[in-house]
Amino acid sequence: MIFDNTINKSTSIISYALCNMERKAVYPGSFDPITNGHVDIIERGLKIFDRIIIAVLENPKKQPLFPTKERVRMIQDIFLEQKRIEVIAFDGLLVDFVRENSATIVIRGLRAISDFEYEFQMTLMNRKLNPDIETLFMMPNISYSFLSSNLVKEVCMLGGSLTDLVPAEVENKLKKSIQRTHL
Ligand code: PNS
């Protein structure tokens, strides 16, 4: 009887701990700049996870349009009211960043079959580096399936409309930045 009680007590402690465990995920990317497709994935992720860390790649090899600090600030501005989002710049291996932030799940958006090969390779490499980390793929709304940061920059550079492609905060910054670089 005493034994039964002990088991029951331990089970309830474990269930309590599991119920109270924060479901956390990391959503990594270059975000140069963040688009409405990224925002869509983040909003979908918030339905599954309690907290999402948006990990902004600081890659000295790539020549981004926006410096890392600005990419981080733009995302922070978009999610100012959303306390379950944290935006952090990272360099080095993604799996190390995920572990250092006590997470085990990586979210990636999958727009079309063309994304699959790169994502498949990256996921399996990350799994080889750390088998405890899982990657979860999410499809954005179909209206964003053609959208990418690179195309958005090109459209902006050639004077096209950015309506529905990026958040308003990003649209202004993008126009200013592209004007500056083409002076
Ligand atoms: O938005 P992107 O450019 O498709 O994001 C790519 C990103 C940041 C997820 C990827 O380049 C990355 O994880 N870089 C960190 C370096 C790393 O861990 N490389 C080995 C994994 S394949």
Provide the mean pLDDT of the chain.
91
Tens digits of per-residue pLDDT, 58-80?
977 779 999 999 999 999 999 99
The answer, yes or no, to whether any atom of ligand 1 lies below 6 A from the CB of 94, is: yes
126 lines ligand 1 (CB under 6 A): yes
**Mean local confidence (pLDDT), 128-150:** 97
Q: In angstroms, rounded to a whole number, what is the distance separating the alpha carbons of residues 72 and 76?
A: 6
The pLDDT of 157-177, averaged and rounded, is 94
Structure token digits, residue 101: 């932030």
For the question of residue 62 being annotated catalytic, the response is: yes
Of 14-18, 30-34, 60-64, the least confident? 14-18
The answer to whether residue 14 scores a pLDDT higher than 80 is: no
The model carries a pTM of 0.89
Q: Nearest-CA neighbor of 37 among 157, 138, 154, 176?
A: 138
For ligand 1, atom 4: residue with the closest CA: 29
Rg of the chain on CA atoms, in Å: 20
| DSSP H stretches of helix in the chain | 2-20, 36-48, 68-78, 94-100, 113-129, 149-157, 168-181
The reported pLDDT for the residue numbered 160 is 94
Residue to substitute in 38, 94, 150 for testing ligand 1 pocket (most ligand atoms within 8 angstroms of CB): 94
Average pLDDT over residues 22-37: 97
Q: Side by side, which strands form the sheet with 85-90?
A: 85-90, 51-57, 24-29, 105-109, 134-138
Say how many Å lie between the CA of residue 155 and the centre of ligand 1: 24
Is pLDDT above 70 for 100? yes
Asked if the model's pLDDT at residue 18 lies above 90, the reply is: no
Peptide bond into 33 cis (omega under 30): yes
Q: Is the pLDDT of residue 40 over 60?
A: yes
Tell me the two tokens of residue 8: 């029951």
Q: Is the predicted pLDDT of residue 183 greater than 60, yes or no?
A: no
